Chain A
């Protein structure tokens, strides 16, 4: 197998194809601390793309409660169990990736979910890790915890679906790095469903071929962020493009958050796919769990996130989440504002770093009444 460089694990690794990075790489950042699992993103995606026959239980976007929510059932614990205990204690991953763990005659270590695994898309919703004992008190990390994990296809640099397909029905677009599954070429072998550890390729029993998240490419081609991003009522997401660390641009909000401030982390980087959806880890969850899920450096990410009010550039990048439906290519913090720009330097949006506060008098002369809320 050819060797490719995966910056998320800090080393070269095996991949079925030569490593060629796209001109631009589709990327998304999701702040898990802000997600309330309202599923608006899920519904936006569903009504846009997967409302047809055979797509009844298919969610290209889903939001699950961690640690006990899964779609499909047990997707991450099953593959983690197969991969076994690995060493993720430093910036250079010492363990094995899924490609390096491929059994003889296979392209990748994977498994095919059962049909019924897709039958409970919101299983484990709001389930916490355990009961609170008598005398419990609030502490951080929390004694008992849960959080919400919104998920889409990661449009991986080294996509396992693409690497698993024996007839090259899946391709990565050179112009934006979006991974697409050719609906005419696919023969429904389900190798991609086996191979993708995130289980974000889905089989459609009516068309008898597989389907996957298309990164809302018709929107992205028109400089518009994805449906799941622009409909997010909590403004937890931003979508744009990411550069590899050696080409990171400080004025790209995604590059700044991921590469400079190192606040957002990939999901299960140890799998070796270099996924391009990044998560700001939940601040209240014990780090042992977060290490496993987001890899090395997760404590530093939380520390830096907490210091965002002191880092104007980080604050400015974070405040651009959900501020505009257009894709922000670069930004700058100027005075009291953070300003997002499109690819041609046109101003897209201007967000105040500090929400202005207006104080109103307690007694309203016009209506001759007292106000209960004056801010």
Chain B
């Protein structure tokens, strides 16, 4: 019952707060040279892409809510090289949060695309809806830390930790595996595979699923109180759960952002409505 109510509310909310974007606020993905994933956060090419300021809204539809999100605006630029799309997402965040313990949460940002982009029948920008599947690419500061500086060990998180013995020190790997919790069942949230970006799909609140096939990549740099994050994804893949983009074509994108220092996580986030995204030829 609760879930149905939430979905209805989400659909109603999407209609209510998703006015048609004026043409000048559309994201224009300019064509750049090169091939393969676009990961350079500080490249000069970004200056040529016109930034769009995306207004971030409090998530107040699904419980638990976030009525006062810490981030109210993202600055987004888009480029593509004919094979890969990349978005540079920047926002002010005075605290870099990439340490994960019970009371510390990581900074995150996500971009969402409808998998089937049909004008007039868009899925809800709030993680899609039943039958309206979306692709959500989520960059995590904690994963970026793992990739840049190595995965934290217990002593990295708690320098004074003293433990006599762990099962993996006395048992064979297969026998010690049951003592490793979510790591032992390859929960994709536990550790980054090869990228700080999770390639996911969803059909509404509570349905986020990490795809078995990962295509997206990215890189985040925190500098002078700001996050500068590139998320890049192939414009076409074999996956039925990835959108297909074409030079000269268009789609929409929506965003979500979490400020870990304000304990934003999961549904405690800021979200945006659909923003038109056009690809240069």
Contact = CB atoms under 8 A, between A and B. Distances in A.
Interface of A: 1-2, 16-18, 51-56, 104-107, 112-115, 118, 164, 166-168, 183-184, 186-191, 193, 202-209, 211
Interface stretch (B14-22, B76-84, B180-188, B237-245): B180-188
A106 B64 contact: yes
B206 A168 contact: yes
Given A52-B166, A113-B102, A184 B154 contact: no
Given A106-B63, A207-B182, A56 B154 contact: yes
A115 B187 contact: no
Interface in B1-43: 1-2
A204 B100 CA distance: 9
B182 A2 contact: no
A166 B267 CA distance: 8
B44 interface: no
A212 to B, nearest CB: 11
A105 B189 contact: no
Secondary structure of the B contact surface, majority rule: loop
23 contacts: A18-B1, A51-B166, A52-B166, A52-B168, A53-B168, A53-B180, A56-B161, A105-B65, A112-B102, A113-B102, A115-B103, A164-B64, A183-B185, A186-B187, A187-B208, A188-B100, A191-B64, A205-B157, A208-B182, A208-B190, A208-B191, A209-B189, A211-B181
B101 A203 contact: yes
Given A118-B102, A206-B154, A166 B181 contact: no
A186 B182 contact: yes
Nearest to A16: B2
B189 A186 contact: yes
B227 interface: no
Given A2-B1, A107-B63, A167-B207, A53 B182 contact: no
A18 B4 CA distance: 13
A7 B105 CA distance: 38
B266 interface: yes
Secondary structure of the A contact surface, majority rule: loop
Given A52-B179, A187-B266, A208 B63 contact: no
Contact of A184 (B153, B161, B166, B185): B185
B100 A205 contact: yes
B100 A166 contact: no
A192 to B, nearest CB: 11
Given A107-B63, A187-B189, A206-B183, A113 B100 contact: no
B53 interface: no
B205 interface: yes
B225 interface: no
B265 interface: yes
A17 B185 CA distance: 28
Contacts of B105: 190
A17 B166 CA distance: 39
Contacts of B47: none
Contacts of A17: 2
A322 to B, nearest CB: 28
A208 B105 CA distance: 10
B154 to A, nearest CB: 6
Contacts of B86: none
B198 to A, nearest CB: 10
Nearest to B177: A52
Which 10 A-B residue pairings sit nearest by Cβ, starting from the closest? Answer: A105-B65, A189-B266, A52-B179, A207-B182, A203-B102, A167-B206, A207-B181, A183-B182, A209-B182, A205-B101
A210 B197 CA distance: 21
A112 B63 contact: no
Interface string B86-108: 00000000000000111111000
B142 interface: yes
Given A186-B187, A205-B152, A211-B181, 5 more contacts: A115-B104, A191-B266, A193-B102, A206-B190, A207-B190
Interface in B131-167: 142, 152-154, 157-158, 161, 163, 165-167
Given A16-B2, A186-B189, A191-B266, A51 B101 contact: no
Contacts of A115: 101-104
A167 B101 CA distance: 20
Contacts of A203: 101-102
Contacts of B2: 1-2, 16-17
Contacts of A211: 181-182
A2 B4 CA distance: 13
B72 interface: no
Contacts of B179: 51-52
